[in-house]
Amino acid sequence: MRFLSIQGSQVRELKADAPQQALSSVSLPDHGYLWLACTREELAQLHPHVQAALQRLCGLQMVDLHISDLLNVQLPSRYDYTSQYDLLVFRRLSTRNPDSLPTEVQGLSVGPRGGPPILRRIDTSPVGFVVFDRILLSVHPQDVSTRDAYVQRLLDIGSDKTPTQPDENTSDNRSTGARGIAVDPSDLMLRIVNYMVDSFLALRRELSQQLDHWQAELLNPKTRFSNWNALLDARLALHQLDEICEDQRSAMQDWLEALKAQPESSSFLGQHARDMLQVRSRDVLEHIERVVHHVRRLEQNAETAVQMHFNAQSHRTNEIMRTLTVLTAIFLPLNLIAGIFGMNFEFIPLLHRSNGFWLAMVAMATTAGALVAFFWRKRYLERSAR
C-alpha cells in the first residue's frame, strides 16, 4: 500500500512500517490531497482500517456495495456515485508474460489459447477509483506495474525543481497541471486512466503486424492454411476486446455526464478546474474511441481475410473445374470416333483400307485442334494472372 501527499507541485510519499500504522497516522496536506493506492488483496484485508481512515480524514465512509465492487475481479468497467464521492471501475488493458499462470477472471486470457503471440499475452483486470474531495483511493490488481510506474512518474516530476519556480501563494493550477501533476483527485484519476488506455494504444502496431501476416497467409495461393482454431481464438479475443472497450467508453461517458450535471455551487473546484476536468475527460474518451475503432478495424480485417480466402479457394476450384470440363469436351468426340470404329460390324468405312488408321487419326487430330482453338478463343483455357 502506498500513500502520496500531493500539494501544488510537491509530491511526497509517506512511509510506514505497516499499512495499519500508516492508515491511522496519515493526514491531509494543508492545500492538497492524498492518493491512497492499494491492491485488491490489501483492501480485502484492511478495509475496516481504510474505512476508519476515511471517516477520520473526510468524515464519511464508502458504501458496502461499493467495497464489494472494488473487490470483484469480474466486474466490467462502470461508473457510480453518491452525494459525497464518485466510483469508477476501469478494466485495464495490459500485457502479461505468456509463461505466467492464467488469470482467474473473465478477461481475455483465461487459459492457454492459440492465435498470434501478442493476442495470447493480452489480459485485463479491473482497477477501481474512489474519488473524494481531497482523497483518491485506487484499488489495483496484484500486478501493480501501472501503479508503480505512475507513482514513480509523479515522484520524478515532483523532485524536478526549476530555478524559477513561482511562489506557492501566487501560482495557479495551470502551472501545476502543465508540469504533469494533477491538481485534484479527479484529475489524477483521469490521468491514470489515460495512462492505462495509452498502454494499449502502444500495441496497435504489433497487433496489426500479426493480423497482416495471417492475412498474407490466407491469401497466398501456394500455401494451405490449416490453423483455423488459432484464427477463431484470435477473432474471439478481438471480440472480447471490443466489448471491454465499449464498457470503458460507457463508464467514461457516464462520468462526463455526471461532471457536466454537477452544480457549480456543490463543488469546491473553480470554473477553470472544472473546465480542465471536462477537457481531460473528453480526451480520455477520445483515446478509448480510438481503441474501439482500431479493434473493430482489426475484426473487420480478419473477417475480410477469411472471406477473401474462401472466395479465392472457390475461384481456384472453378478454374480447375473449367479446365477439366474443356478437356472432357475435347476428348468427347475423339471417344465417339474411337467407339464407332470399335463396333463389331463387318463392313465399316475405311476399315479395310491400308491408310484407314491414319485417316481416322488425322480426323481425330483435326477435331481436337479445332475444339482447342475454339475454347482458346472463348478464353476457356486462358490462365488467370496471379
Q: Residue 330 CB: number of other CB atoms within 10 A?
A: 18
Same domain, 99 and 142: yes
CATH number at residue 36: 3.30.460.20
Who's near 141: CB < 8 A, 6+ residues apart?
39, 40, 73, 92, 125, 126, 127
Grid cell of 126 as nine digits: 479491473
> Do 67 and 40 share a structural domain?
yes
In the chain, the number of structural domains is 2
Same domain, 135 and 193: yes
C-alpha cell at position 374: 475454339
Whether residue 215 is found in the same domain as residue 321 = no
Tell me the C-alpha distance between 364 and 232, whole Å. 54
Residue at 230 is within a domain: yes
C-alpha count within 13 angstroms, C-beta hemisphere, residue 115? 23
Tell me, yes or no, whether 323 lies in a domain.
yes
Is 382 within the bounds of a domain?
A: no
Domain stop point among 261, 288, 311: 311
Reading the block at residue 84, the C-alpha cell is 459525497
Q: What does each C-alpha distance from 371 to 96, 288, 364, 367, 381 come to in angstroms?
A: 65, 64, 11, 6, 11
Dist. CA 283–CA 84, nearest whole Å: 25
Q: How far apart are CA 170 and CA 18, in angstroms?
A: 38
Query: Which three cell numbers, joined as nine digits, stand for 48?
Result: 475496516
* Final residue belonging to a domain, choices 285, 311, 337: 311
Give one DSSP letter per residue of 153-214, joined into a string: HHHHHHH---TTPPPTTT--HHHHHHTT--SSHHHHHHHHHHHHHHHHHTTHHHHHHHHHHH
- Residues 206, 350 within the same domain: no
Structural domain containing residue 88:
2-160+182-311
The answer to whether residues 325 and 191 belong to one domain is: no
User: CA separation (Å) from 153 to 125, 146, 185, 295?
Assistant: 22, 11, 16, 29
Q: In Å, what is the CA distance from 42 to each residue of 26, 32, 46, 94, 242?
A: 17, 25, 6, 21, 31
Same domain, yes or no: 266 and 122:
yes
- 306 and 205 within one domain: yes
Give CA separation, 334 vs 353, 356, 372, in Å: 20, 16, 13
Q: How many CA atoms lie within 13 A of 342 on its CB side?
A: 6
- What is the spatial distance between Cα 285 and Cα 250, in angstroms, rounded to a whole number? 9
Tell me if 171 is assigned to some domain.
Answer: no
From first to last of its 386 residues, what are the pLDDT tens digits of the chain? Answer: 888 889 877 888 888 778 888 888 888 888 889 999 999 999 999 989 999 999 999 888 999 999 999 999 888 899 998 988 999 999 886 555 444 444 443 344 434 444 555 665 567 789 999 999 889 999 998 888 888 888 888 888 867 544 334 343 333 444 344 446 888 899 899 988 888 887 777 677 777 777 777 777 777 777 777 667 767 777 777 787 788 888 888 888 888 888 887 766 545 556 777 788 888 888 888 888 888 888 888 888 778 877 887 787 788 888 888 888 888 888 888 888 888 888 887 777 877 778 888 888 898 899 989 988 888 888 777 665 54
Same domain, 272 and 365: no
Q: How many residues does the chain have?
A: 386
Are residues 303 and 156 part of one domain?
Answer: yes
> Which pLDDT score, from 0 to 100, does residue 383 have?
63
- Verify that 364 and 241 share a domain, yes or no: no
Within-domain flag for 96: yes
Report the interhelical angle of 228-261 vs 204-219 (nearest 10°): 150
Last-in-domain residue among 311, 336, 352: 311
Give Dmax over CA atoms of the chain in angstroms. 126
Q: What is the pTM of this model?
A: 0.69
Give residues with Cβ within 8 angstroms of 205, minimum separation 6: none
In a domain? residue 167: no
Residues 142 and 186 in one domain: yes
We report the CATH number of the domain holding residue 340 as 1.20.58.340
Q: What is the C-alpha separation between 7 and 5, in angstroms, rounded?
A: 7
The sheet with strand 135-140 has its strands ordered as: 10-14, 2-7, 33-39, 135-140, 122-131, 86-95, 78-81
Distance CA(282)–CA(100), nearest Å, equals 36
CA atoms within 13 A on the CB side of 383: 2
Distance, C-alpha 38 to centroid of its chain: 26
